[in-house]
């Protein structure tokens, strides 16, 4: 399923970045970008979305007022705040209005991705037909951590960052890429990428090989297999 997303952000540059981040995941499609609360409410009066990426400070009304108008219309999509507003009273007010996640600018892409992962996890749990047992409800309430149950990661590794890299590599169609090429595409440092690709080689998700055809110093290339638990080192 593809989830429809509305972005409410009056800064065109920030809105473009938000859109790029959202659409880096194939599960999401940005269907509308609005510069004001009034424009967003007008759109939402006739169109449905599953997720809103919301800035607090926008023309005509702030984020709290926007949500009050939205709920008065009988609409209650998931909301991720992406804002510089960090005052305790503002945060408390927005959380009381059902905001699912709250990102304070500036933030790293991995944290934005974690918010999207949390949304996907909640949608998966809520899509089950019939009733929910206690385990499912516990998982739903614990989704605020943004992490699904998964094998224990090595110390210093983050699940959301790992999934970001996994998703990119899964879309690379078996290309053999260097850590520098991966870092450039997912907007993380080369040092960070090397830690994660080393972990993925150990788990068998990547196979590594040495490329001598560089015209200079040989480089290590990594190819995604998706085979967790297999030996990951390739031939040299």
3-124 belongs to which CATH class? alpha beta
Over the stretch 137-149, which tens digit does the pLDDT of each residue have?
776 666 554 444 4
pLDDT score at 125: 77
Residues 94-139: tens digit of each pLDDT:
999 989 999 998 887 888 988 998 898 888 877 766 677 777 677 6
Instruction: Judge whether residue 150 has pLDDT over 50.
Output: no
Q: Exposed/middle/buried for 203, CB within 10 Å: 0-12, 13-18, 19+?
A: middle
DSSP state of 153: P
Higher pLDDT, 156 or 48: 48
Q: What is the average pLDDT across 68-72?
A: 96
In angstroms, the CA 104 to CA 227 distance is: 36
Q: Considering only residues 195 and 7, tell me which one the structure prediction assigns the higher pLDDT.
A: 7
| Mean pLDDT for the chain overall | 85
Helix (H, G, I), strand (E, B) or coil at 51: strand
227: confidence class by pLDDT, cuts 50, 70, 90: low
Q: Which tokens sit at 24?
A: 């880096």
Q: What local confidence, expressed as pLDDT, does residue 204 receive?
A: 84
* Rounded distance between C-alpha atoms, residue 223 and residue 170, angstroms: 9
- 83 vs 174, residue with greater confidence: 83
Give the pLDDT score at 141: 65
Q: What b/e sequence results for 13-52 when a residue is b if at least 16 CB atoms lie within 10 Å of its CB, and e otherwise?
A: ebbeebbebbebbebbebbbbbbebebbbebbeeeebbbb
The backbone region for 98, taken as left when phi is positive above 0, alpha when psi lies in -120 to 50, beta otherwise, is left
Kindly tell me the sign of the dihedral angle through the C-alpha atoms of 3, 94, 33, 183: negative
**What's the pLDDT band for 161 if we cut at 50, 70, 90?**
confident
Q: Residue 189 pLDDT > 60, yes or no?
A: yes
CA dihedral of 201, 113, 139, 6, whole degrees rounded to 10:
-150
Angle between helices 63-72 and 37-44 (to 10 degrees): 20
Distance between CA atoms of residues 2 and 228, nearest Å: 26
Distance CA 142, CA 9 (A): 29
Quick check: 156 pLDDT over 90?
no
Instruction: Give 201-225 pLDDT, tens digit per residue.
Output: 888 888 988 888 767 778 899 998 8
Cβ(179)–Cβ(197) under 8 Å?
yes
For 159-224, CATH gives: 1.10.10.10
The domain locations on the chain are: 3-124, 159-224
Cβ(207)–Cβ(232) under 8 Å? Answer: yes
Distance CA 201, CA 207 (A): 6
Identical fold for domains 3-124 and 159-224, yes or no, is: no
Q: Which of 4-8, 33-37, 83-87, 211-215 has the lowest mean pLDDT?
A: 211-215
pLDDT at 127: 76
Read off the pLDDT of each residue in 161-176 and give the average, rounded to a whole number: 85
Quick check: 118 and 102 in contact, CB under 8 A?
Answer: no
pLDDT of residue 136: 67
Please give the pLDDT value at position 11: 93
232 pLDDT above the threshold of 70: no
């Amino acid at each position: 399923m593809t989830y429809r997303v509305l972005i409410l952000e009056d800064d065109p540059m920030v809105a473009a970045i938000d859109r790029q981040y959202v659409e880096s995941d194939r599960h999401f499609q940005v269907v509308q970008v609005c510069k004001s609360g009034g424009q967003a409410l007008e759109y939402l009066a006739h169109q449905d979305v599953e997720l809103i990426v919301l800035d607090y400070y926008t023309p005509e009304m702030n984020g709290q007022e926007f949500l009050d108008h939205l709920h008065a219309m009988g609409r209650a999509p998931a909301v991720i705040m992406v804002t510089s507003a960090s005052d305790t009273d503002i945060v408390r007010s927005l959380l009381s209005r059902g905001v699912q996640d709250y990102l304070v600018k500036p933030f790293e892409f991995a944290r934005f991705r974690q918010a999207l992962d949390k949304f996907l996890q909640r949608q998966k749990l809520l899509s089950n037909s019939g009733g929910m047992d206690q385990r499912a409800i516990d998982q739903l309430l614990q989704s605020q951590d943004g992490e699904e149950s998964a094998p224990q990661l090595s110390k210093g590794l983050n699940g959301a960052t790992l999934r970001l890299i996994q998703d990119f590599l899964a879309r690379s169609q078996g290309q053999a890429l260097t850590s520098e090429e991966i870092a450039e595409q997912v907007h993380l440092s080369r040092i960070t990428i090397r830690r994660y690709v080393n972990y993925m080689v150990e788990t068998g998700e990547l196979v590594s090989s040495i490329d001598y055809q560089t015209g200079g110093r040989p480089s290590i290339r990594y190819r995604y297999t998706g085979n967790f638990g297999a030996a990951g080192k390739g031939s040299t």
